[in-house]
Structures are given as structure tokens and as C-alpha cells.
Amino acid sequence: MEYNTNQRDLKSDIDAAKKNVVNGTQQDFRGLHESNNSEIRPDTPLTHFHSFFYDLVTWKYPRASGVIFTSLLSTIFAFRFINVMRYIFKAAYLLLGSVAALEYAGKPLGYKGVVSQMRPRRYYTIPRENLESIFEEIHDFLNFVVVEFQRVVFVENLFTTVASFVASFFGYFLIKYLPFWSLAFLGTILVFTGPYVYINNQEQIDAQINHYSDIANMKLNEARGVTEQYAGEYATRARQTATQLTEKVQNYANRRASADHSAAPTVNPHSFPAAPTQEPISVPQYQEQYPDQYQEYQEHRAPILA
């Protein structure tokens, strides 16, 4: 009797534990679905996907996050090691072959058919409200992607932009050596572990980041000071060199001008005939004013013309 009582108590405890796990998981999924985005950024209206993914990767609802995390990893491994499409086609041909064989087997016996008798009077259709809700979710998800991309590009949060840069940079090089499924596997692990580790150790991580930022700024200031010092020295040397070159060029130009001036020939003004001081006159006037000179000119000119 005591053994049976203990066994019933153990069974009831196990059932209670299962019920608590199921209820807790349902509550976590309900809370994840009803996440409020006002806690993330109350001054900007965001879609519920912002709060959904924030609560998901920060493990605010651990059971829901654990189930989704495990499901994603299982899906990645399933598509990597199992030919999923092959099994989908296999399930399709087994289903269609079975119903066709059952329907055909009842025809010779005069029955209407096993599958035909199971046929519903009205086929199931997707309600319009469901499609509208699905399209609304797709619309919200696309807006979530667009808004997050803009927030990263326009550096709303420097840490997020730098993290995205590092992820894309390493992804660019790793895709050459690793298959896509391994990158998806590593990315999923980082997405679900990085924010959780940061939030639970935020003070220590921020302190280390500030410490290394101060060290980097100090080194940068030192490098800037050394650079300015060397730049000043090289600028002074450049000015001195330019001044010396300018003086040399001027001296060379002065020496060249002096040499050209000394080498130029001197001109004697008496070597040239005197310039006329009277107005020119015509031949008849000259003949009238100077008849003797004109006669002498004609006498000298005659042999030359002859």
C-alpha cells in the first residue's frame, strides 16, 4: 500500500510538473506575442516586431525563447543533414497513392468508395480575416526590416552600427570558407546569446568598454601630438628649404642679368649720321633754291644712268 501511494504521489508530481511547464510555456508565448514596444522607444511608434524580437533575444520569456532557439537550430541541422524536400515528395506520393488505391479498391465491390464517403460536403477555405491578418503581419514585418535598416545606417545607436559592420565584415570573408548552413548556425547562436550576456553583465561590459575607449583616446591624443610635432618640424624645414631655393634663384637671376648687361656691345652715337632738321622739299623747289648743287647732281647722275 505504501509503495502504491508513493507511486501515485510521484505520478501526480510528474503530471503537475508537466502541467506547470506547459502552462508556463503557453504564458511565455502569450507574453512574447503581446510584447509592448513602448518600453524600447516610447517616442517613436514601432511595430510589435521590435518588441517581439527584443524580448526574444533577451530571453525575457525564457521558455518561449528556448523553444524558438532550439527549433531554429533543429531546422538548420535538418536542412543540412536531411533531404527535407525528398521526404516532402515521399509523403505526398504516399498520401496520394493511398487514397487513390482505397478509392479504386472499392469500385469492383460496388461500393461508392472509402475516400468518397469521407469527402466533406463543403471544402475547407481560408477565411478572408485570416488572410488580412497574415498580410498585416507581413506588412508589419517589412516595416520592421526597413526601420531597423535605417536606424543602423543613420547610426541611431553607434554600438548597433559597429556590431552590424563587424558581423557583415566577418560574414564577407567567412562565406568564402564556410558553407551557408554553418554561418546560419553561428549567427543564430550569436543572436540568442550576445544580447542575453550583455544585459546580464551590462555594468561590467560597459565599464570595460569605457576603459578601453579611454585608452584608445589617450593613445590617439598621443599619436596626434607626435604627428603635430613632426608636422611642425617638417613644415619649418620646408619653409627654410623654400627660402634657400628662392635666394639661390634670385642670385642666379641677378648674376645672369649682370653677365648679359656686361656682354652687350656699346653703341657710339657719333657713328650714325645726323638726323635732318629741315622739312623735305620737292625737286622743282630744290632746283630753284639750289641751282648749282642741282646741276652738279645731274652731272654726277648722268654717267650712272648711262
The confidence score (pLDDT) of residue 91 equals 93
User: What residues does each domain of the chain span?
Assistant: 2-82+120-200, 201-256
pLDDT score at 167 = 87
CA–CA distance, 234 with 160 (Å, rounded to integer)? 41
Residue 292 reports pLDDT greater than 60: yes
One DSSP character per residue, 62-122 reads HHHHHHHHHHHHHHHHHHHHS-HHHHHHHHHHHHHHHHHHHHHHHTTTT---HHHHT--SS
The verdict on pTM exceeding 0.85 is no
Cell of 251: 642670385
Rounded Cα gap, residues 6 and 170, in angstroms: 57
**What is the rounded average pLDDT of the residues 166-188?**
89
**pLDDT single digits (tens) 215-225:** 888 888 888 88
Report, in angstroms and rounded to the nearest whole number, the Rg of the chain calculated over CA atoms: 52
pLDDT(264) > 60: no
- How far apart CA 37 and CA 43 sit, in angstroms, is 10
Over range 102-109, report the average pLDDT: 73
Query: What pLDDT is recorded for position 227?
Result: 85
Give the mean pLDDT of 7-33: 60
- CA geometry: angle 139, 143, 144, nearest 5 deg: 115
